[in-house]
Amino acid sequence: MKKFATVFAALVLLLVSVFSVSCNKSGKEDALPGTLMFRFEGNPRELSKVSQELPDTNDFLITVTDGAGNVIFDDLYCNLPESLDVGPGSYGIFVRSEDFSGLAFSSPQYGDEQCVVVPPAGTVTVELGCRQINSGIRLDISPDFLTEYPGGVLFVKAGDRRLMYSYSENRIAYFSPGQVSVILDNDGKETVLLTRTLVSQEILTLKISVSAGGGAESKGITISLDTSRVWTNETCLLGDEGSKGTTYEDALTVSQALASIGRDDVWVSGFIVGGDLTSANASFAPPFKSASNLILGPRSTASSRDNCIAVQLPSGDVRDALNLVSNPGMLGRLVCIHGDIESSYFNMVGLKSVSDFVLK
């Protein structure tokens, strides 16, 4: 019996020891840092019903906060490191084309907002969308309204802000999603003509006129919804790759170029981030040895082949001006390059038959 008790005690001690080691090991693993990586969706399939000049995603503002609300990055997207080493936990990501004041003409705001969880020692790649995140309203004011209310002034009101909408105005007034009102100030007397609630991506066009009647005293204001001018920007709005790229002012971004294999005679805009390409490797820091190629990245801090495009530099003026052997100062420069997008150049999507470039 004594021998059994001794063996049992030894087993208990062994189990406690193993459990303790296991718990300690788990605690260390749970504390291992993770990695956050970012990229914009590269192949939008639905476009807005309205053609608009969209901003370059490199100029977007991006803010990354931890679960406690502490800001760990707040700058331009092009200055975002290739990856962020962070502790395990939840993170908020807010990306936007501009900081929006709340109510302004011609100020569509594009971006995305996400919450992600980074596991210990894990890597999370955040696919950033590019959707309109504010709302808009446009007033189509008929001539008879001006005749009936020559001293009247129309306002668009959202939140605690208001914006005068002149009778000759035809721009869209953008506001943060929520309630919007149309107000008539007629010789100091204010009347709310309409109040609507709009969600993000929704843009409304309202026709404002004066209804017919037997006399001026029986006329009333009529507001109707122009259903042909209601739309939502449902998906990624990086631009229409089928029409972009014909000029350097409207160049494809690197992300768009990756989704546009087979297009010829197009302009691609990106940052020169490296060179010395082989089928499996590349260099992202000087000194460089090969003058015949370079790499364009979506941001100046790119440091891997992923999400980048290879560029073949033909002998001549383009190579003389851009190659990193003779021009190490070109590293990190933003440039537009004209050529053909092909499926493979050193096992990367490549820009070949390069004929021109423009430094930005």
- Residues 117 and 172 reside in one and the same domain: no
- Residues 253 and 305 reside in one and the same domain: yes
- pLDDT at position 144 is 81
- Residues 141 and 121 reside in one and the same domain: no
Note the Cα 249 to chain centre separation in Å. Answer: 19
Which residues, given as ranges, of the chain have pLDDT below 50?
1-26, 43-52, 213-219, 226-241
Q: What is the count of structural domains for the chain?
A: 3
- Residues 99 and 199 reside in one and the same domain: no
DSSP state of 88: S
Copy the structure tokens of residue 74: 């707040």
- Burial (CB < 10 A; 0-12, 13-18, 19+), residue 257, is buried
- Residues 114 and 88 reside in one and the same domain: yes
Among 72, 47, 53, smallest CA distance to 62 is for 72
- Residues 100 and 111 reside in one and the same domain: yes
Q: What is the pTM of this model?
A: 0.57
- pLDDT at position 30 is 63
* C-alpha to C-alpha distance for 64 and 93, rounded to whole angstroms: 5
For residue 82, give its domain range: 34-132
Q: Which of residues 77, 107, 132 is at a domain's end?
A: 132
Among 358, 250, 243, 258, smallest CA distance to 307 is for 258
- The answer to whether residue 239 is domain-embedded is no
State the sign of the Cα–Cα–Cα–Cα dihedral 250, 255, 260, 266.
positive
Q: Which CATH number fits the domain that encloses residue 50? A: 2.60.40
- pLDDT at position 354 is 95
- pLDDT at position 250 is 84
